[in-house]
Each structure stands twice: as C-alpha cells, then as structure tokens.
C-alpha cells in the first residue's frame, strides 16, 4: 500500500508501463499490490509486491496469486518501491521470501535517496545475488533499461520510449489524437484543393467547348452566306 503520493506515483509508473509493454502478449500477467501465495498448505507465506511480472500466465482478474493454481509458476520479476515507513526487518523478510520462492529479478528503488538495488538469481548458487552496475542496467526478462542518473531513475522500454506517468501517458495520447486530427484536416484540405482544381479544369473545358461551338456556328453562318471561313 502506498504511503504518500510520490510512493504511489512510482508504483503506478512501474505497473502501468510494464502492463503496456506486454499488452499484446496474452501470456504475461502484470499486477500491483496483489497478494502472492506460493504454498497452498501455508497461507501465512505471502507477500504483495508493489509490482510483479509473471511470464507464462494469462492475463485476467485475480483476487490473489495462488501459485499452485498458476501451473506452479512464480513471478519472475518483482519491483518494490522503498517508502519512508519501510523498516530493515520488513525489507529483509521480503528479500528472503523472494529468494526462497523463485523470483528471478528483484528491483528495490529508494526514490528518496535515488538508489536502485538489483538482485538477479545466480545460475551457480540458485540464489538472488546483488548486481553491480554503473549507471545503466537492462532487465534480462523484460529488456527494460534502468538508467540511474545523479538525481533520478529513468526507465526505457526496448523500443527506446521512456516509462511515463499517467498524466504524461494521457498527454502523449492526446498529442497523438491532435496530430491525427491535424493530418485529417490537411488531407481534407488537400482533397478540397484537388476538387477545386478539378472543377476549374472542368469549367475551362466547358468554356473551351462553348467557344468551339460558337466558332462552329459562326463558320456555318458564313458558309450559308457563301463565305469560306477558312479563307478569312
């Protein structure tokens, strides 16, 4: 559960953008703050990651993630946003849970200090191991790039587009709508210009035809009077 507006904004940014990233893949389930129960016989074993991504499970509403009903598949990617109220013991418990129950990538972001910690499951030890990286890290599972500058964390999709907030996403959508509307208006103006040109050409053709008919009538009149118009 979010503790303040900034905490919620970060959770929402991760969840919404990951959901958008995999919107066309029916076998990727993305959830936020959803209780995950890994063991049917032990309901006390549970966590609700701020955001989790599960590859190999269909989209759809769930009241909780019951792993034994999900083909035994654990969330592969988990994101936690550190809030002012989180305590060391609580975060240690979360880490131990994710380590024990098969998370492949665990991301912990402290927006207050602008610190990102990344753990990836080691093939040698089969345990989560902290990753040392400079300013940039790319998620093996999602291909999302984490770019940590001096003052902020930027998240970049595989296609190069940044993760955006709800407001920024709506602004981007509105800009696309406005651009499409402008393109339609330009196309309509071009259609009207083409139609006007066609009408002008038709009017010119009609004037030329009228002139030809008038010349033919005059020539016929001259011939009727015994005058050869070609000799004039």
Return the half-sphere exposure (C-beta side, CA atoms, 13 A cut-off) of residue 33.
10
**Residue 129: its pLDDT value, please?**
97
User: The whole model's pTM is what?
Assistant: 0.75
The per-residue pLDDT of the chain, averaged, comes to 91
Instruction: Encode pLDDT of 135-171 as tens digits.
Output: 999 999 999 999 999 889 999 999 999 999 777 777 8
Phi, psi (degrees; rounded to nearest 5) at 214: -65, -40
Higher-confidence residue of 221 and 18: namely 18
Q: How far apart are CA 171 and CA 178, in angstroms?
A: 10
Q: CB-based contacts of 58: which residues, under 8 Å, 6+ apart?
A: 26, 27, 29
Cα–Cα distance between 121 and 73 in angstroms, integer?
15
d(CA 206, CA 218): 18
Phi, psi of 65 (to 5 degrees): -105, 100
54-74 burial by CB neighbour count: b if 16+ within 10 A, else e? Answer: bbebebeeeeebebeebeeeb
């Amino acid at each position: 559960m979010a503790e303040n507006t900034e905490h919620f904004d970060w959770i929402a940014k991760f969840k919404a953008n990951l959901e958008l990233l995999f919107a066309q893949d029916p076998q990727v389930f993305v959830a936020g703050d959803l209780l995950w129960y890994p063991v049917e016989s032990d309901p006390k074993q549970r966590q609700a990651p701020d955001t989790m991504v599960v590859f190999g499970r269909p989209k759809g509403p769930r009241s909780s993630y019951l792993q034994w009903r999900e083909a035994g598949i654990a969330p592969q990617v988990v994101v936690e946003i550190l809030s002012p109220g989180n305590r060391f013991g609580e975060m240690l418990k979360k880490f131990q849970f994710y380590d024990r129950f098969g998370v492949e990538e665990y991301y912990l972001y402290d927006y207050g200090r602008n610190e990102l910690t990344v753990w990836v499951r080691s093939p040698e030890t089969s345990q989560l191991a902290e990753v040392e990286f400079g300013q940039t890290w790319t998620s093996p599972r999602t291909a999302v790039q984490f770019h940590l500058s001096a003052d902020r964390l930027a998240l970049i999709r595989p296609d190069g587009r940044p993760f955006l907030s709800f407001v920024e996403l709506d602004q981007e959508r509105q800009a696309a709508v406005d651009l499409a509307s402008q393109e339609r208006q330009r196309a309509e103006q071009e259609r009207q210009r083409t139609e006007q040109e066609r009408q002008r050409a038709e009017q010119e053709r009609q004037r030329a035809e009228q002139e030809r008919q008038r010349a033919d009538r005059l020539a016929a009149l001259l011939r009727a009077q015994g005058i050869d118009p070609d000799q004039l």
